[in-house]
Amino acid sequence: MKLKLRYDSMTLTTMNHNGLNSQARLDSNMRTMRIRATIAGHLKSQQEPQTFRQILDWLNDNTRNGSTPHQLCNVLAKNPEFIHIDTVRVRGTTSGKYDQTVWVHEDYLTGGEEE
């Protein structure tokens, strides 16, 4: 992979082969880490499993920038601390029925015990 140097707005950034600078990727990773930590704290504090929509609504109501459904789906699916335990069928207001995933934090299943 060949890196290119580019001078932008009085800062020197390194560009990878896709044209993304390393700072943008770092900011994206930090955002994902903040979303993951926020969701983990929320799910640990809940006494029952939460649907995807409940988690997304809580995240958007209680954080400054919120999250998109796509970001939340990636965070939940790619982190082993979040466990998909069920899929429930819910009725939409205009679109009939659709599936919602149900998630818990791993501590919920172990009773909050740390090893």
Tens digits of per-residue pLDDT, 14-47?
Answer: 555 555 555 555 556 788 889 999 999 999 998 8
Is the pLDDT score of 76 beyond 60?
yes
pTM for the whole thing? 0.71
Q: What is the mean pLDDT of the chain?
A: 80
Contact 13, 23 (CB under 8 A): yes
pLDDT value of position 54? 95
State which fold the 15-110 domain adopts. Arc Repressor Mutant, subunit A (1.10.10)
Whether the per-residue pLDDT at 94 is higher than 80: the answer is: yes
Question: Domain spans of the chain?
Answer: 15-110
Say whether pLDDT at 11 is over 50. Answer: no
